[in-house]
Amino acid sequence: MSFKTLVFYGSYRSDRQGIKAVKFIINQLKQRNHEVVFADAMDYDFGILNRMYKEYEKDHAPPKMEKLATHIRTADGFIVVAGEYNHSIQPGLSNMMDHFLEEYYFRPAAIVSYSVGKFGGVRAAIQLCSFLTEMGMPTISSIFSIPEISKSLDDSGIYQEEILPQRLVRVLDELEWYEEALQRQRMDKGTPF
């Protein structure tokens, strides 16, 4: 079965380490025949949240916002790649994602966290579980954390530690299970609201 998976990323820093994780994840998804769409907060910079997508008249949202809304609505699932800023979620990520709501409903999300230190961004990952669930995305139980990202992945997203792709298999297997199950429910029964 084929899935459309949207990968979110929210760092605005000039030396973005997390882009290595994004490249690694996208490569692994493509090897599993996913159609991958990359939503980078720097490319989808809507400014600090003033109006959500749903608050615009039909077909009057900014073109980039309309484009991302379409990608979200047509995705089977999401992977959120997140660094940890002061034990919290990256502001660029939460701001981009906060512009949408109903578009996410009934599609699963996986969390990939990273840091330059040994904890791999897990504190932000735990906060993301609540954040994503509140926006209507069931989050899978498996979290993929990448500690010491500057050593774990090169600039092209090629892993430097053999264990990384092995650890990711479980996460992607679980995400695909939910993508298939929820895709089938949406097609067969629609959504409850």
CATH code of the domain containing 67 = 3.40.50.360
pLDDT at 23 over 90: yes
pLDDT at 92 over 90: yes
Q: Sorting pLDDT into bands at 50, 70 and 90, what band is 1?
A: confident
Question: Rounded to the nearest 10 degrees, how much is the dihedral formed by the CA atoms of 19, 20, 26, 30?
Answer: 150
Domains contained in the chain, number: 1
Mean pLDDT across 3-23? 97
What burial class does residue 165 get, using C-beta atoms within 10 Å of its C-beta: 0-12 exposed, 13-18 middle, 19+ buried?
middle
Q: What are the C-alpha distances in Å from 150 to residues 106, 120, 146, 153?
A: 34, 11, 10, 6
Mean pLDDT across 100-116? 98
Mean pLDDT across 34-56? 98
Assess contact for 109 and 78: CB atoms under 8 A: yes
**Tokens for 14?**
């000039």
Mean pLDDT across 88-116? 98
Strand 77-85 relative to strand 88-89, pairing: antiparallel
Domain range for 57 is 4-189
- Cβ count within 10 A of residue 30: 12
Range of weakest confidence among 11-15, 60-64, 152-156: 11-15
Q: Sorting pLDDT into bands at 50, 70 and 90, what band is 132?
A: very high
